[in-house]
A and B are shown apart, each in its own frame.
Chain A
């Protein structure tokens, strides 16, 4: 390795150290703050509405991730495998939720369900400012991330394998389930993890479309916002720390699950 190579690696290493150091420092700062005011932080966590927010966050983010995976994977497969008029437009539109400001998604959903004929559905079922609004707001963005991840995955898997599976007696759907999906396992797990993480942390659209109604549509990011507004900093931070722990645990599980062990081991 030349001196120039070593310097190049050193610069990259320094960037990595600074970035990871910043991430860890953020968590450490949270921990120190909570440790200095542990009684107040603990009192926040034991409040009924916060515990309800934790369960609501876990439930809605899981449901949104499942919905996002179903919808996003289906559309990604369609666009990856089929040629049809407007295919490029569909591909473009599927990326839009990623690029739109979160508040725009929230206000657009609110207008759609309150100022159009869909308001009748809202009146009958109760969508805006209820739990379905949380799931909808979370899924809109989740689907886009699943779509992008799964389209890239399907694009790398040869359509030939599906045709071979069909020649062996599978229907197109059977070939998708038995050949394409198992080969997309890593992409699928990554997509599901991203969809869940996005849903779990979604704030802007949820706040606008579902509101911040304690005991009804309060999810953890909204709890942080409400605690901050009421001046309970240590309460907001303990909820944030809890979100970090949950997110890290899910990331760890996703990484272990996505780890392909079929290499030389068997």
Chain B
């Protein structure tokens, strides 16, 4: 599903070399590591938001190293949520459905079901600036899921939520992943929230060594 081969990434003076990883099972996979180790750069490279210097990125077995983000067809939730401030919650949620030319009826049904599941039903006409951090994160998660991508890259998806909402949402999300056979790569500083359901836990250390194993 997701495969990196000998990927080199550069961001300013920060350089990640020879990254390789393979996520070939449907389900939840975690990417952990210390702050500044390069987790966000890796998921952005998978999503096409950050160019790779060399190496190969494959999604669903296809080489997408030079493909633009829209051709990769993944759902991406950035760490800073990056909601579109000029659009309401409803417009943010339906953004990808419209971009992928869903019918209005199907889009409406999808937005309704997602907003219900994510506790956003009463907030659809609000604008992001009028939402709490946790609500914004729920909208960003909904926006990433809206067009039903089979691959999700989520950067700290539950970090801004209170404990009660987080537990509820994680439970719903795990059900969603199983039911829809989605492959999820989630960056997290708190693997304990999700590790019970995780198929694999990848860890990247300060030296840029990426491998499967418990977080150090």
Contacts and interface: CB of A to CB of B under 8 A. Distances in A.
Q: Do A and B make up one complex? A: yes
Contact of B130 (A163, A171, A172, A266): A266
Interface string A150-178: 00000000101101111111111010001
A226 interface: no
A169 B100 contact: yes
A166 B70 contact: yes
A91 B163 CA distance: 51
A170 B126 CA distance: 23
Given A165-B84, A264-B130, A266-B126, A170 B70 contact: yes
Contact of A266 (B47, B48, B125): B125
A264 B73 CA distance: 35
B51 to A, nearest CB: 11
Given A170-B70, A266-B126, A163 B49 contact: yes
Given A166-B68, A168-B76, A262-B129, 15 more contacts: A160-B49, A163-B69, A164-B78, A166-B48, A166-B49, A167-B49, A168-B144, A168-B146, A169-B70, A169-B96, A174-B99, A179-B84, A266-B125, A266-B127, A266-B130
Interface of A: 158, 160-161, 163-172, 174, 178-179, 182-183, 185, 262-264, 266
28 contacts: A158-B82, A161-B82, A161-B84, A163-B49, A164-B76, A164-B78, A164-B82, A165-B84, A165-B95, A165-B99, A166-B70, A167-B69, A167-B75, A167-B76, A168-B76, A168-B95, A168-B99, A168-B146, A169-B70, A169-B100, A170-B70, A178-B99, A182-B86, A183-B86, A185-B86, A262-B127, A262-B129, A266-B127
